[in-house]
Structure 1
Amino acid sequence: MLNIVTPSVLQPLCVDWADARQVSLYIKRDDLIHPIISGNKWRKLKYALLEAKQRGVAEIISFGGGHSNHLHALGYCCHQLGIQLLALVRGNYTANPTPMLRDLQQWHSRIIYLDKATYHKRSQPNFIASWQAAHPDALIIPEGGSQALALPGVAEILSEQESDFSHLLVPVGSGGTLAGLIQARQARHKNDLRLIGVATLKGEGYLEGLVNSLLPDSAYSNWHIEHRFHFGGYAKRSDELINFCDTFKIQTGIAIEPVYSGKTCWALKQLLAEGYFPRGSRILLLHTGGLQGAR
């Protein structure tokens, strides 16, 4: 019913950046697995939705901002699967709903707007328990879909790859994709693969904590998060970043946006210019989709 196309396309990344010819660059096109449920949003939702269908869940509750790629993908999935979505949204967009929120309305999702202070409680056990008590039969999925059930779906990214890489770059927002890759790398004994997360928001220490909270063992190594490329915070952008995204599409034919994929591509370009990667490195950039967030 959802028509997901996996494994996703793996292709060379041809750019004219400094030092790009000293390494081999590839991009995994998770943005192409579905026109709406793109990228890591499907990877993180796959097994949660399978469980919901097996249990006969009639309602799902989840959280996100007014441009949330997660809520957008989840709203479409719920509409297709006949499940009611209750979206708890940060901020009040009643007077000016975003394109994402208009889509949710079209897909018959229920939307409740929460003020900033209330939304800040979204991960607190008492807050979750109060919503569960009010909706005892509902399945609650955390912000961004990042939970234990997300990890096996993300792990399939590595199982799809026959080629070996020295480095993999991925954007980090709620931590689930990076955590799933860390765990999958360990399970597949690819410990020489260096995982580099690119922070899409201000959160040094906080983001590392989110990743570790999803892992059963905090001793996982050979990964880190770059915090220099968030451009001031989540969904923050500059004219320079927007122009970079536009130029990238012209040069490569691959659309990126300034919230997630644009910042990750920018980070790759800067790290290459700094000589971060040894000559001969094989580098994989994960395009996690989310292009609707740029509307």
Structure 2
Amino acid sequence: MPTATDLLQEITEPAAEQQGVRLLLWRDDLAHPELPGNKARKLKFNLAAARRQGHHKLLTFGGAYSNHVAAVATAGRLFGFNTIGLIRGEPTAVPNPTLAQAAADGMALHYLDRTAYRRRAEPDFIAEQLARFGAAYVLPEGGTNALALPGCAELVTELQAQTAFDAVAVAVGTGGTLAGLLTGLAGEQQAVGVAALKNGSFLRAEIDTLTQQAQDRIFTNYSVQTDYHFGGYAKYSAPLLAFIQQFGVRHGVLLDPIYTGKLLFGVLDLIKQGYFRRGSTVVAIHTGGLQAWAGWHERFGRAG
């Protein structure tokens, strides 16, 4: 297992040097050999609650390439929970790499058409699933709920033990990781979220709701950047893929095309624009998600 010191990497980029900004990368993708990144942090206190409530089964929702579904399946294997994944879409003759690995980790996969899947957060629908599958601890899509936040806040504590910094930056899907980071920041520290999906302005309300639930507080020391989605969730372009490839060559770091590639592209563009004050230290968070590459190559080929 790497130490916290191993997880912090200096990123030397011309744009940062020109603007007088120190850029660091927190490698949460290396935090655990089998269960790294923000999805593991979101699960930590949820798994403790499941045990405390006497549950032996986890039930969750996700798309066919979901990092969250993959993480829940792995957590079930590692920590002794049975797992059920309710997957959006139709089953295929050969499951994609994400779902194949989830099944190998012991997850029972069941499929919901899009109409049914849209009801995934409705109490009546959840009750129907529990009647069907038996008592289980229910995890929402993406793993984002109030109990996800303290696990993400621990990342800030670990980071603060290593270095002083002025801002953290993270990719945003459901908003849970950014909300958790906000609850751990101190003083004048800021957070920047880079939305991975199109029309992400609604995310601020989602984040505010989460921090209100978790700490009865709404934070103002953050922004959600909505210009770096490259067409929408899981959408991509040649410039994004070129950036990921070049970043890997320069820094020896593999980014993913859904979250962290967009994050670093966005952070470097914000630095070029002078968004961060000269002399500041900015820490981008690599939240993992690299399992998605296998499915990405299957869908789009090696060029994608």
Range moving further from structure 2, 210-219 or 222-231: 210-219
TM-superposed CA distance for 1:5, in Å, is 5.2
Indicate conservation of the 8 Å contact 1:179/1:211, yes or no.
Answer: yes
**How far apart in 1 are the matches of 2:291 and 2:24?**
23
Q: Quick one: which amino acid aligns to residue 278 of structure 1?
A: R
Which AA in structure 2 matches 1:265? L
Query: 1:166: Cα distance to partner?
Result: 1.4
Correspondence 1:293 to 2:289 = no
Residue 96 of structure 2 corresponds to residue 98 of structure 1: yes
Alignment match of 1:25 (pick from 12, 23, 26) = 23
**Counterpart selection for 1:9 from 4, 7, 10:** 7
When the two structures are superposed, what TM-score results if normalisation uses the length of structure 2? 0.89
Aligned ranges 1:125-204 → 2 under 5 Å: 125-160=123-158, 161-162=160-161, 163-185=163-185, 190-204=186-200
Q: Is residue 258 of structure 2 the alignment partner of residue 259 of structure 1? A: yes
Structure 1, 32-41 or 261-270: larger mean CA deviation: 32-41
Structure 2 partner of 1:209: 205
CA contact (8 A) 1:30 1:38 kept: yes
Structure 1 residue 40 displacement after superposition: 0.4
Does the C-alpha gap of structure 1 residues 116 and 56 become closer, same or farther in structure 2, counting only changes over 3 Å?
A: same
Q: CA RMSD in A?
A: 1.8
* Amino acid in structure 1 at the alignment position of 2:169: L
Tell me how far apart the structure 1 counterparts of residues 130 and 18 of structure 2 sit (CA, whole Å). 50
Q: Is the 8 A contact 1:201 1:233 kept in 2?
A: yes
Q: Could you tell me how far 1:50 is from its partner in structure 2?
A: 2.1
Contiguous gaps of at least 5 residues in structure 2: 295-304
Residues 18-73 of structure 1 deviation map (CA, whole Å, 9 limit, x = unaligned): 65561111111100012331110111001111222344422110011111111111
The alpha carbon displacement at 1:136 in A equals: 4.7
Q: Secondary structure at the match of 2:249?
A: helix
Describe the SS at the equivalent of 2:15.
coil
Q: Is the 8 A contact 2:59 2:84 kept in 1?
A: yes
Q: Using the alignment, how far apart are the partners of 1:239 and 1:210 within structure 2?
A: 31
Q: CA contact under 8 A between 2:16 and 2:23: conserved in structure 1?
A: no
Instruction: Please report how far the alpha carbon of residue 96 of structure 1 lies from its aligned counterpart in structure 2 after TM superposition.
Output: 4.1
What is the CA distance between 1:117 and its match in structure 2? 2.0
1:94 maps to a residue whose letter is: T
Is the contact made by 2:19 and 2:274 (CA closer than 8 Å) also made in structure 1? no
Using the TM superposition, give the Cα deviation of residue 95 of structure 1 relative to its aligned residue in structure 2, in angstroms. 2.8
Q: Could you tell me whether the CA contact under 8 Å between 2:194 and 2:226 is conserved in 1?
A: yes
Alignment of 1:80-99 (within 5 A): 80-99=78-97
**TM superposition outliers: structure 1 runs of 4+ over 6 Å:** none
Q: Percent identity over the alignment?
A: 39
